[in-house]
Amino acid sequence: MDNSEELREKMLNAAKWSTITEIAAKIISPITNMVLARLMVPEAFGVVATVIMIISFAEMFTDAGFQKYLVQNEFKNSEEKYQNANVAFWTNLGIALFLWGLIALFCEPIATFVGNPGLGMVLIIACVQLPLSSFSSIQMALYRRDFDFKTLFLVRIVSVFIPFVISIPLAFLGFSYWSLIIGTICIQLSNTIILTVKSKWKPKLNYSVAKLKVMLSFSIWSLIEAISIWLTTWVDALIIGSILSTYYLGLYKTSITMVNLITAIITAATVPVLFSALSRLQNNSEQFNNMFYKTQRAVSILVFPIGVGLYLYSDLATQILLGSQWSEASGVIGQWALTSAIMIVFGQYCSEVYRAKGRPKLSFLAQVLHLIVLVPVCIYSANHGFWMLVFARSWIRIQFVLVHFLIMKFSIGIPISNVIRNTFPTAISAIAMGFAGYFLQQIYDGIVWSLVSIATCAIFYFGLLYLFPGIRKEIVSMIGQLKKIR
């Protein structure tokens, strides 16, 4: 078996476990959110959103881009790999403790800045996650590098069940946002314990400044890129919290979180696997490009119909996922789902290409070019009302896709025409399905008819895909490979 075939089998095996993990997680997580959404008001979710915003910002610095370095870099042997892991661990832990102390010192000004004055103590307690996550992040990187997603499956499954035994009971008892915060801390604690116990690598009391300098030469750009990604992800929430209210922030973030949980069944299962595979193929342009095209097309088969379907049936999705008291969320879910489908297929995987090529500066450039447009659009639209911001924030992502197209063409050498041609069958089938679904909705109104029309749309979509020989052969090949591994 040649190296490329061996890598393909490793990737498919990793994808199998990663997919099983994400399917299980994304089935359980929405159920948890469905229960919690019926127990708490949007304001409580707004408070949690601001806490997550601050923690996610701090976690970028605790990781410092070392995870990507450990996955992407080629080491001479296991000893060198573990030496670098050791340096990364102690650096992460030191930064985490420093940032936790800094947040504790300025907790009230930070809480006021993000729109939650008086909740400084909440931030201090919630940020105990920072040192905990520094314990597990390096082990996760090593598992991903080795395509050992079976071990990560155990970690993830334990973490998704914790809200059932911690967050939901506390919410029933009236602990409001504390139920979510305590549940998240317990998740980080379980990750730390399981990964530390099962990991072959254990931190040792030695440190190399020379290795740190080498790692930082790569990781500094990953860190800068992570900051730009954080801004892209959270600038809208920051503006909503500052200009509008925690009610609208909770409504907005909960809605897009539910959409992201659904689409992440595909993306979270494929992104880490694709990055690991592309990193191994970075010196073989033909195999590298083919791997990217195959992954992009396979993802589009599922993501396009999910996005169109959630847009068409956003009212039904809101009623099922969040409950009737969240009816306003329907408009957010529909817009975000449709643009997410476009963004995932044409934009999200481009960042993995840049990193796998060892060129994180390109991802940073893409983020900056997007932020130049995104920030003023969000500020302007927020001053004209919540729904103007929802529409503008959703569709401004198309500009981000165009930026990725240009960078992929001129810096990576992947033509825009190839990317579009690669996904044309799935795109045209999803559009046709959308029109069919719209006309079916005009016939009758009701939950039963909606479910019937959804099933009809799914049959119609896959029937159209069957007419494209290339797609048909690829689906059969994928199923055959997964059966072989099983």
| Domain locations in the chain as residue ranges | 39-207, 218-486
The per-residue pLDDT for range 28-47, each reduced to its tens digit, is: 666 777 777 777 777 788 88
Residue with tokens 């290795």: 211
The per-residue pLDDT for range 79-92, each reduced to its tens digit, is: 777 777 788 888 88
Asked if residues 12 and 485 have their Cβ atoms less than 8 Å apart, the reply is yes
The residue among 275, 278, 271, 338 whose CA lies nearest residue 299 is 271
CA distance 1 to 8: 11
The residue among 34, 24, 40, 322 whose CA lies nearest residue 160 is 24
pLDDT band (50, 70, 90) for residue 485? very low
Whole-number percent of the chain with pLDDT over 90: 19
Instruction: Provide the pLDDT for residue 336.
Output: 94
Burial of 253 per CB tally in 10 Å (0-12, 13-18, 19+) = buried
pLDDT(214) > 90? no
Reading the block at residue 112, the tokens are 């006021």
Residue with tokens 């029933």: 172
Asked if residues 42 and 250 have their Cβ atoms less than 8 Å apart, the reply is yes
Q: What is the pTM for the complete model shown?
A: 0.75
pLDDT(449) > 80? yes
| Residue partners of 456: CB distance under 8 A and separation at least 6 | 436, 440
Residue with tokens 């042997």: 77
Q: Which of 232 and 334 is assigned the larger pLDDT?
A: 334
| 177, 195, 205, 408, 434 from 139: Cα distances, Å | 30, 6, 17, 31, 43
CA distance 24 to 35: 17
The whole-number average pLDDT for the span 184-195 is 85
